[in-house]
Chains A and B, each alone.
Chain A
Amino acid sequence: MAVVEINNVFKFYHDTEVEVKAINGVTLSFEKGDFAVIVGPSGSGKTTLLNLVGGLDQPTGGEILIAGHRLSELRPSELIDFRMDHVGFVFQSYNLIPVLTASENIGFIMNLQKWPKEKRIARTDELLSSVGLSERHNSRPSQLSGGQQQRVAVARALATHPEFILADEPTANLDSKSAESLLDIMEKLNHEEGMTFIFSTHDVRVMKRAHRVITLEDGKVVSDEKKE
């Protein structure tokens, strides 16, 4: 069964008097274990599509199903819980909470889900180890490099065992070495744990590693290439 199904989805914005067709009839599906990138020029609708898939935004038309659940049938409060349980987010600007340590940032979402303390600590340790930051438990974001912060963000996204991770330009703010290192970790998680990753990116390094490259132009899918 597909983890994500996007059926003929539209998203229109009204910019003053002009109607902007950000997503214009996209149909896609992502299987468990996909390592897919959505590419395209600026304004092609990559981030909008990711926001729609993540339930952060509502489509103007069409339907999105996540693990068999229709997002349009969920009430706003249910959608929030749904996101917490099923979707992991990695943002371009890391978006860690500056006053919390690496462990606390990762544990935050588990806290929201009221995980027992021992389980939370064990999961945080496991995640920090998997992103290669076992020694940085108590470091605050300001004490970490950009690459390290993004690795913490990946660990946070993985914390509650989501169905898939949406990563919007995750390497855009990173130098080559940090970007490669981050991609190594994501690739490893994909290989070893079967975690589904859906990226939006301009970064060639990400494209090279992807198993599937979807190209968007003017809100439409113009190509969907799967690598062997």
Chain B
Amino acid sequence: MRSLIVIAAVAIGIFAGVFLMAAMNSSVVQRLDAAVNEELSHIQVNNKDFRSSADIQNIISDYPRVVAALESTPGVTKVTGRMIIRGIASTATKSSGVEITGVNVEKEKEMFTLSGKLIPGTGSYFETDTKFNTAFIGEKLAKELNIIRYIITPEAITSLREKGIPSNVVSKVETLQGQRYTSDKKFVKAYEKILAPGEIKKYGWKIKEAAWSYREGSKIILSFLDITNNQTGAAFRVSGIFRTNNDMFESLSLFVPIDELRQLTGMKEGTFHRVIARLEDNDITDDATPVIREKLADYEVLNWKEIQPDLAMIADFMGQIYAIFMIIILAALAFGIVNTMLMAVLERTRELGMLMAIGMNRRKIFMMIMLESIFLSIVGGFAGMAVSEIVIAITGKTGINLMKYSEGMEAMGYSAHLFPTIDAQFFVTTTILIVLTGIISAIYPARKALKLNPVEAIRGE
């Protein structure tokens, strides 16, 4: 019974540690993937003065040479150029500072996953055939510009009922039907007046989701400087709205087809502000960067780690967090085993005394205690690892929804929907360490058993 409890305790401890590790790891991995696949790419090449001044005239004038240098670097898979200008996006009621990125739509679709982040029902990633200029904008910016509104429509009420929200809550929400709220804040204020705090906590975000409303093809005005530093601008139709886990990126980034931007700014064909490159893998970043930097010494070459050092630090820090977690888990395991086996030695003093008396030698007594400890740690450890593997496999597919904390997490660029994941190598290392811990923590109780005096032990002293 005692052994079963110890095995269960070891298993639960291992599971808790490994699962927490997997959840934390997923958060970082997802953030990293999002940063590289949606926002930064692996390598960025800029005119040396571009980042400090953001002047439209700080261009990359010999694009073919830059592309050739990048494409000839081992590990580089795709390259494209971007125009980047600062400007102001405004609607009839609001305006907001933005970074307007002119992109080669087809190339960007191949290189980034942002097109896949389109919110269904908000349009497309530049696929609508229109004579107007088009822009692909973030949800946060759309909210700031009052493009997204909250309206309780009959459809929203039906959707709330379908989501299983209690009818008394739906009835209260129904009283807001027909009203139009131009901002997130105003809508939240409105339903806070009619719902109890518990109802808001439980159903608030579902109500917001149902009331979310957007008029396709909404118009925004973009103002910026042209190549001659004269104020210019144009009306753009919102082609689509994307949703990521990074509020900052969503509120600042706005994408337009590069040809439209080139025409409006007067920038020459074949000139860009930034050339970006994708690598085969994140892990080759540190190898590829110096090679590219040497080839393009007259440009500023940055990798994603240098652009977002906080992200690189967290990615590197994960290794240390792994180590700290492992030390904590294994220390708990070791103390558990030592405690249990000392208890076992104490409980079996008489039995051990008898074994020594009838002729069991000390080496065998030592091995008996060692093997029992190792058995406990291995069985408990493997059970914990097996449960972790299963739970991580399941939650890795279904995800863990932390929507309640989405505002805080997304403000920092982290997803509130975690898909736990852990390296196979982590499992192997952990298993080896568990066995080693079992062996090491068994030594002390086994030595205690060895020191028993058979005469006293038989008397149970």
Contacts and interface: CB of A to CB of B under 8 A. Distances in A.
Contact of A95 (B350, B360, B364, B455): B350
A91 B359 contact: no
Interface stretch (A26-34, A81-89, A216-224): A81-89
B11 to A, nearest CB: 22
Contacts of B460: 93
B364 A112 contact: yes
A84 to B, nearest CB: 2
B367 to A, nearest CB: 12
Interface in A166-203: none
Nearest to B360: A112
B61 interface: no
A89 B455 contact: no
A109 B351 contact: no
Interface string A22-51: 000000000000000000000000000001
Contact of A93 (B350, B361, B455): B350
Chain B's interface: helix, strand, loop or mixed, by majority? helix
Contact of A91 (B361, B362, B364, B458): B458
Interface centre among B350, B356, B361, B460 (most CB of A within 10 A): B361
B357 A56 contact: yes
Contact of B354 (A77, A84, A85, A91): A91
Nearest to A76: B362
A91 B359 CA distance: 15
Interface centre among A56, A57, A83 (most CB of B within 10 A): A56
Interface string B279-294: 0000000000000000
B10 to A, nearest CB: 21
A109 B359 contact: yes
Interface in A108-167: 108-109, 112, 156-157
B13 interface: no
Contact of A83 (B350, B358, B364, B458): B358
B454 interface: yes
A156 B350 CA distance: 16
A85 B359 contact: yes
Contacts of B350: 93, 95
A97 interface: yes
A20 interface: no
Given A57-B455, A91-B458, A80 B361 contact: yes
A80 B351 contact: no
Nearest to A93: B350
Interface in B347-401: 350-351, 353-354, 356-362, 364
Nearest to B363: A77
A95 B459 CA distance: 10
B270 to A, nearest CB: 84
Interface string B400-439: 0000000000000000000000000000000000000000
B14 to A, nearest CB: 26
A81 B359 CA distance: 6
A187 B350 CA distance: 27
Contact of B458 (A95, A97, A98, A112): A95
B357 A54 contact: yes
Contacts of A93: 350, 460
B358 A81 contact: no
A56 B356 CA distance: 9
Interface centre among B351, B354, B364 (most CB of A within 10 A): B354
Which interface class (under 10, 10 to 19, 20 to 34, 35 or more) fits B?
10 to 19
Contacts of A112: 359-360, 364
Contacts of A156: 358
Interface in B325-365: 350-351, 353-354, 356-362, 364
B357 A83 contact: yes
Given A56-B454, A91-B458, A95-B350, A109 B358 contact: yes
A84 B358 contact: yes
A93 B458 CA distance: 9
Interface string A50-65: 0100101100000000
Given A51-B455, A56-B454, A95 B359 contact: no
Nearest to B351: A97
A106 to B, nearest CB: 11
Contacts of A57: 455
Contacts of A51: 455
Contacts of B354: 89, 91, 95
Given A56-B455, A57-B455, A95-B458, A89 B357 contact: yes
Nearest to A94: B354
A80 B353 CA distance: 12
A83 B359 contact: yes
A56 B455 CA distance: 6
A109 B355 CA distance: 9
Interface in B224-262: none
A85 B455 CA distance: 19
A228 to B, nearest CB: 34
A85 B359 CA distance: 8
B298 to A, nearest CB: 79
A54 B350 CA distance: 17
Nearest to A97: B351
Interface centre among B351, B358, B455, B458 (most CB of A within 10 A): B358
Interface in B103-129: none
Nearest to A91: B458
Nearest to A77: B361
Contact of B361 (A81, A85, A95, A157): A81
A95 B351 CA distance: 6
Contacts of A84: 358-360
Given A56-B357, A156-B358, A157-B358, 6 more contacts: A80-B356, A83-B358, A84-B359, A84-B360, A85-B359, A89-B357
19 contacts: A51-B455, A54-B357, A56-B357, A56-B458, A57-B455, A80-B356, A80-B361, A80-B362, A84-B359, A84-B360, A89-B354, A91-B354, A93-B350, A93-B460, A95-B354, A98-B351, A112-B360, A156-B358, A157-B358
Interface of B: 350-351, 353-354, 356-362, 364, 454-455, 458, 460
When A and B form their complex, which 6 residue pairs have the shortest distance between CB atoms, in order from nearest?
A: A84-B359, A95-B354, A80-B361, A83-B359, A56-B455, A51-B455
